[in-house]
Structure formats: C-alpha cells, structure tokens
Structure 1
Amino acid sequence: MKKFIAESEESKKILNIVQMSSNLPVNIIITGERGVGKKLLAKEILPQAICFDGKLLENSIINNTVNIQQYKELIITDIHLVLNKKEFLANLSNIKIIATAQTTIHDIEEQFAIKVNISPLEEREEDLKIISQEYINSANKIYNTNITLDNIHLDISQNGISLKKSIYKNTLLNSLNSEEINQALEHYIDKKLDEQKTYKDFLKVIEIPLLNIAKIKFKSQLQMATKLNLNRITLRKKLEQYFGNNHE
C-alpha cells in the first residue's frame, strides 16, 4: 500500500484536515491501532520527510550519533515508546513533526496543535473494501492467480497488517499445485526431523486438516467414511483422537 486510502467519510475528513495543515508550521500527532494507516497518512502530509522510529531516534540523540538540526521536518513513528518524551521533543523544537502513536499521550498533547485519530478498519467499511481489492490485485499478479475476495476469509484483527497477510497467504495457498505442496511438506519435514519428531507426529500434519475439512464438508460420519474410503470405526477413533468427544 503506497498511499492512505480515504474512501469513507471519516477518512476523507481526516485527509482534508491534514492536507490543509501541511503548509502550516505546526506539529501533528496521528493516533490509532496498529495497521490503520498512521504512517501512510503522515507521508501524505510530509511526502519528502525522513521517517524515524521514535525509540531509535531517542537513542541516537542521547548517543549523539545523529545531527538532528539538519532536518526541517520529520516523521516520528511510535512516539509513545519514547521514554523521556518532553526532553525528546525539546531536542526537536525547531523541526516540524508529524508523530504517530497507538494511544493519546496526555503529557505531551500541548506540543501538537493538530490531533487526529484513525478508527480501526472494521469501522471504515468503504476503506476496507478498496484496500482489500488492492491487496488481492497485487497478490494475483505476484502468484499468477485469479482469486476473488469471496474465496478468502479476511483477518482484520490487526487492521491492514493482518488483512494483507490473510490475503497474500490465501492467494499463495490457492496457487500451489500438488508438486509445490509436496515440496512445502518436504521442507517442513526436513526441519522437523531435527527436532526428533516421530512418524505419528508427521501423520497428524496430514490427518488433522484432512479430517477437519471433511467434518465441515460432509454432514455425517457415514458420508465422511464413504468419501474418504475409510472404515467407520477407524474414522471414529481418529476423530476422538484428534478432536475428543466434540467431534460430532
């Protein structure tokens, strides 16, 4: 994702506020959960600014390994992790700052004339739709597939971070052929053999997902046994072994 997506009314309002402030000599702080697009929004305001991790910059200033006065504007990410925030900002007093934080920081609020908060993706459905489509288009291009979002369970527990991972992971899995799946299993087994895994341990890797999907796809154990060409008694024992008494 190269730019801040502003399709929802909230995001349009936020983008309008910060763009109007881009030429003003004031500091701006952007808050919100991980993965909501704080850094992307900061780049919309100061596209040419150098971006520093707050904690790393604090250490560089303390150790005198950076000439901070060479900068006129900076983007500081995760400023909430800076230990001595007031002293840190005092060293940046002549620099325009766009800072990001996961939560509001009350002891330095007065240092920022403009404060904006970005809501989680689950509250910005229009943005989520556009962002998801951009990720699936990119993933399809990389893996030479034609997967649609209807085939993917979107994980937005960590907003854009988990969303991107879920889309790319599912697209990759859908792109694999039998030979590539075998290669992946061989790679997994090669690593796990060094951990003294047994034959039964590796058998679980195949049987658990197989039986789990069969439970979902078929209505009864009779159908499962028939489709898998497996004795019903053996099937029941396997289900009890892996899923306990909650396998019905």
Structure 2
Amino acid sequence: MSEYIAQDEVSKEILNSARLLQAVNVNALITGSMGVGKKALAKFILPHSEIFEAKSLQQDIIDDVLNMQNDAIIIDKIHEITNIDLLLNWLDINSIRIIAISNNDNLNKKLKEIFSINLEIPNLERRELDTKGLIKKFSKEASIILDMEVISSNKLITNISKNTHSLRKSIYFSYLFETIGEEEILMFQERYLSEHLEGENSYKDLLYLFEVPLLKAATKKYKSQVQVAKHLGLNRITLRKKLEIHKELL
C-alpha cells in the first residue's frame, strides 16, 4: 500500500476523509499540483485497485477490451478524458466506482457531478511537517539504494519547487554529491555546457550557471551585501547589478 505522509493538520484532515472513502462506496476526486501525493492518497483509499491513465482507459472503452463489473478503479489525469458521455455510460452500465486524480478541478460539469467528495492536496510549501517527514523518508531510501550511510540533515539539498518530484531528486543528489569532487563537478559542467553552446553569445548566456550558485552560496554564508562584496572581491555597485540581473533565480 502506498504511504501518504500526513503530519500537518491539513493532511490529517485529508487522511481522515480518505479513511471514510475506504468505508463508503462513492466516487471521489483528488486534485492538486504535480507531486503533492495524489496517487499515493488514491492508493491508500483503494490499495488493491488498478490505476488507469485517462486517455488509455477511454481508448480501451472504445475498443471494448475491458471486462469488469461492480469494481473500483483509479483514473489518473481524468481531465484528459475527451468523450465524457462514453465514460459516464461505461461507469453506469458496469457499476464501476472511481477515485479520480487531476492536476486541476476545471472539469466538465457532467463529470464533476459524479463525485460525492472532492479532496484538494496543498503544495509542500504549505505542509512543513509533511515535508520534514518526506525528507526523512527519501533520505533513508537513498541511503539504502545507494548503499551509503545516512547523511546529516544539514548536508541535504531540499528542493520543493515541484513538491515530492523535485524533493526526492534533490535528496538523491545530496547523497551523490557526497561522492564527487572538483574533477567530477568540472566534468558535469563541461558536458552540460557542450550540449547548450549555441549562437554567438554563449559566454554571456551561460555565465549565470557560475554566477547564480556563487551568489547564493555567498549570500547564505556572509548574509550582508557588504560582506558578500568583500569576500567575492566585487564593489557593491557591481554586486547589486548582478543580484538584480539574477533576481528571479536567487
């Protein structure tokens, strides 16, 4: 059974609703951004049910290759269904219960009406305790898979811009980073740069790949712009200009 981390109050309320859905035979819609845990929650509700991609399910219904009745299924990306009447008719004739997943709740009105319960999962930026739990989970997972000792939390890079998708990736990168040195870093940079060299202003266009992490690291370490400028060997006017240029990435 998939694990749905629920340590923040909002997540606990969602989990309570999910437990209710385990006990009652109604359709439900789970919405939220990519990586917030929609599929994990759906599998918590229906641990033994098959997950169908919406487009594939629609084609299977058209091709009449499905043989199921009085069953329950999970439909991922239900907003991609284009033939609503086809789906609704199939569900009704075969008495199929669904737990549906969508990145948005901007669904066809007919489709919306079949859901008795709607659960919206917030992004990780609003779920501090859940994020801590996920960091611990992914760190343990990475240490086992990569056969490494668990590294301290202050060495972990945590990126929640795409919720669990980016968080897991950043945790694994943290472990890999422990095994690489300057030579490997230069090698990675060279490969990336060689694949992105184009046009006549490549130096100017790609310079941010060096400047942004340097400015981030210096700002985090030295705090004030006066100290950052001093330790980077820049005058304050130049520093301010660079901070302004890269403000969207800092």
TM-score, normalised by the number of residues in structure 2:
0.73
Q: 1:170 to 1:24 in 2, by over 3 A?
A: same
5+ residue gaps, structure 1: 226-234
Please say if 1:4 is aligned against 2:4: yes
Aligned AA (1:92): L
Q: How does 1:129-148 map to 2 (within 5 A)?
A: 129-143=132-146, 144-148=148-152
Match of 1:75?
74
Instruction: Provide Cα deviations, 1:68-101, integer angstroms capped at 9, x if missing partner.
Output: 5367111001111211224312212211111111
Please say if 1:172 is aligned against 2:176: yes
Q: CA RMSD in A?
A: 3.6
TM-score, normalised by the number of residues in structure 1:
0.73
Aligned AA (1:116): L
Aligned AA (2:166): S
Deviation (angstroms), 1:211: 5.7
Please say if 1:36 is aligned against 2:36: yes
Aligned AA (2:74): I
Q: 1:107 to 1:204 in 2, by over 3 A?
A: same
Instruction: Provide Cα deviations, 1:95-143, integer angstroms capped at 9, x if missing partner.
Output: 1111111222343222122222222222222211111111122223334
Q: 1:204 to 1:20 in 2, by over 3 A?
A: closer
State how many pairs are aligned.
233
Q: 1:212 to 1:59 in 2, by over 3 A?
A: same
Deviation (angstroms), 1:159: 1.6
Instruction: Provide Cα deviations, 1:27-76, integer angstroms capped at 9, x if missing partner.
Output: 121122221111111101111111011122112322x0631536711100
5+ residue gaps, structure 2: none
> C-alpha separation between the residues in 2 aligned to 1:7 and 1:159?
16
Q: Which moved more, 1:208-217 or 1:95-104?
A: 208-217
Q: How does 1:1-248 map to 2 (within 5 A)?
A: 2-62=2-62, 64=63, 66-69=65-68, 72-93=71-92, 94-104=95-105, 105=107, 106-143=109-146, 144-178=148-182, 180-181=184-185, 184=188, 188=192, 208=211, 212=215, 216=219, 219=227, 223-224=231-232, 243=242
Q: 1:221 to 1:17 in 2, by over 3 A?
A: closer
The structure number with the bigger radius of gyration is: 1
Q: Which moved more, 1:13-22 or 1:176-185?
A: 176-185
Q: 1:205 to 1:23 in 2, by over 3 A?
A: closer
**DSSP-derived class of the 1:92 partner:** helix
